[in-house]
Amino acid sequence: MLGEDTNIGPEVDCMSTETSFSLLRDRWPFLVLVGVVVLYPLITLQSYFIARLGIVLALYSIVLTGAILLIRFAGIISMGQAAFFAMGAYLSAILTVRLGVNPWLAMAVSAGGTTFAAYLFCAPFLRLRAIYLAIATLGLGEIVILLIQDWHEVTGGMSGLSGVPRLRIGPIVLKNDWQIFYLCGFVLIVFAYLADNVGKTRLGRAYHAIRTNEVAAQASGIDVQRSLQHVFCFSAFVASLAGSLLAHFITFVSPDTFLNFSFTVLIIVIIGGTNVWGGLATGILLLGLSEVFRGFQDLSNGLYGLLLIVAFFVFPDGLSAIVFKGSGAAKRMSVIHRSRTDLSGARAAPNCRAPKSQRGKILQVSGVSMFYGGTTALSDVSFDVRYGQIVGIIGPNGAGKTTLLNVINGYLAPFTGKVIFRDVDVTRKAPHEMARLGAARTFQLINLFRGMTVVENVMVGAHLTGSAGIFESGLGIGRARREETAIWNVSTNSLQMVGLMDRAYDVVDSLSFGEQRLVELARALASQPDLLFLDEPAAGLNTAEAAKLGTTLRLIREQGITIMLVEHNMALVMSISDMVCVLDFGKLIATGSPDYVCAHEDVIKAYLGPQETKGAP
């Protein structure tokens, strides 16, 4: 025991030092921001213009923190930030000026009301994508501005609304520029820290997954609609809070303040890139130049347009992709995770949940039919799968194998029939609901999350391991930290199982075809499934790789995971399957053991075609 303590001590100290260094290296932009906020008023005390410019930049930067998560991380092209910015300002102004509400309470009510309005908007409209969603959010912004302009009795119309009271902290009225700047700077620090942290957690990985491959994100258990609603409402909340602060800073609101603001935010976020700090630095630079050269507004707009064009062609991932390279981020995070788990004596989490029952039927497919126009993809397909089996689905090209997986997994709804999974009718369940119930899958065509490292891809598969929200994840406290550790353990175990731990920190795009197949398998395993669907996992593998895959699948089955695989590699299917189902033109023509299926007359005809009569010329 004494020897063990002697050996572990230096390793712990070394890991602690490495962790501290990694944290410092990863947090230097945040420390710079804190330093700027602390020192800026001391440097600009003698300049009225520069002091107030700092306040305006801080307020606009607050809006950017939410917009970066929404636009760059989640890929939602929103032109409605001006609407939420204006709603926060006007609601706070109306409540305090017209109704005499306490300014702090007015800010809280404004933020809540704006967030609720954002939810009502996004519930139906977030089903749109790309340009259609952008147009819808643009319409929202126009409606809010027109309402402000035309509702003279309440908003003051084009003349604006004056007399907005200043904020107070006890007996102190925040009327000096340095006081207001420190308040806005503090809020900026909080939300910048929160947004940066969210980007490194399961939520940030989920947003990246949705942006790059929505189909695979659903298979990993990510509720796409719900996730996008949350980040959309969060960005609205942040914009509303900034708008309220602006109203109480200038004590006056008018529609002119918010015109074209959404376009400005969108352009800055696109130019800045995914990294929060890169986006903020870009925003402060461009907005600062716009304010300094306010008399040359056309020149500023032209500069924005030029930079946008350059960004699209030269650095489509934004300036932050050049300045803040993320290639080592996952490796640095691994140091933190290891320090929390392995060295403290924690054991890795198991790769699978114990199924509720080891006996009986885990899956029942009854009378499933599927049609594409006049083409029959599946015709009255019925079979059962028992716990712990490996079931092979074979058949000629176009037989309906992938369609069958899509129906079972929730990507397609059958015209007739029923699918029962673990005694639950899942016929109309969505893919993310199937993942939550314990079904995972890989795809015929590789579906990975481009731009992420191998381990980050696999960690997306463990998304359901956690449940912390944006604020909890952003602050990185309590449950969120424990969930990240659990996700890390499950993901690294999955990578070790498929033999890819040595490539964990490589960007997934750089891997070979066969290795990418294994990453997809590891990601499915990270969801800790009871039933694993594999769609042609051996496609593109050589004989040795296919044999190794067979060994891996047997190991997976030994852990209690039932496997269904669609595969054209007959040697693999027949060597590992307990049961084989054969489809031909959408019909199930044979079901049974590999030996029974190989000798079945209809199977031989389906693969070899009708045999010619011996002796025919």
Whether 373 maps to a domain, the answer reads: no
Residues 6+ apart with CB under 8 A from 574: 392, 580, 594, 598
What is the number of other CB atoms lying within 10 angstroms of the CB of residue 321? 17
Nearest CA to 458 out of 428, 501, 426, 511 is that of: 501
Tell me whether residue 332 is in a domain.
no
Average pLDDT over residues 262-270: 87
Cβ-in-10-Å burial (0-12, 13-18, 19+) of 1 comes to exposed
CA 522 to each of CA 40, 527, 553: distance values in angstroms, whole numbers, following the listed order: 49, 9, 11
Tell me whether residue 283 is in a domain.
no
Specify if 404 maps to a domain.
no
For 399-437, b/e burial (b = at least 16 CB within 10 A) is bbbbbbbbbbbbbbebeebebbbbeeebbebbbbbbbeb
pLDDT of amino acid 337: 53
Using left for φ > 0, alpha for ψ between -120 and 50, and beta otherwise, residue 396 falls in: beta
In a domain, residue 174? The reply is: yes
Q: Structural domain of residue 555, as residue ranges? A: 388-398+428-608
Is residue 285 in a domain? Answer: no
**Is 281 inside a domain boundary?**
no
Instruction: Render pLDDT for 125-184 as a digit per residue (tens, 0 to 9).
Output: 888 877 888 899 989 989 999 999 999 999 999 999 999 999 999 889 998 999 999 999
Tens of pLDDT, residues 485-534: 899 999 999 999 998 999 999 999 999 888 999 999 999 999 999 999 99
* 339 Cβ contact partners less than 8 Å away, ≥ 6 residues apart: 15, 16, 19
Kindly tell me if the per-residue pLDDT of 297 is higher than 70: no
Threshold 0.85, pTM exceeds: yes
The last residue of a domain, from among 198, 228, 257: 257
Cβ distance 207 to 227 under 8 Å?
A: yes
> Which range is least confidently modeled, 324-338, 415-429, 480-494, 578-592?
324-338
Residue at a domain's end among 234, 257, 280: 257
Q: Which stretch of DSSP H or E encloses residue 581? A: strand 579-584
Q: What is the mean pLDDT of the chain?
A: 85
- Which pLDDT belongs to residue 355? 46
Better pLDDT: 567 or 349 = 567
Q: Tell me, what's the pLDDT at 521?
A: 95
Same domain, 44 and 185: yes
Name the domain boundary from 230, 257, 284: 257
Domain contains 345: no
CATH number reported for the structural domain that contains residue 454 in this entry: 3.40.50.300
What was the pLDDT predicted at 120?
94
Verify that 29 and 171 share a domain, yes or no: yes
The domain tally of the chain equals: 2
Q: Which residue has the tokens 């995914």?
A: 274
Over residues 84-100, the mean pLDDT reads 95
- Mark whether 34 and 177 lie in a shared domain: yes
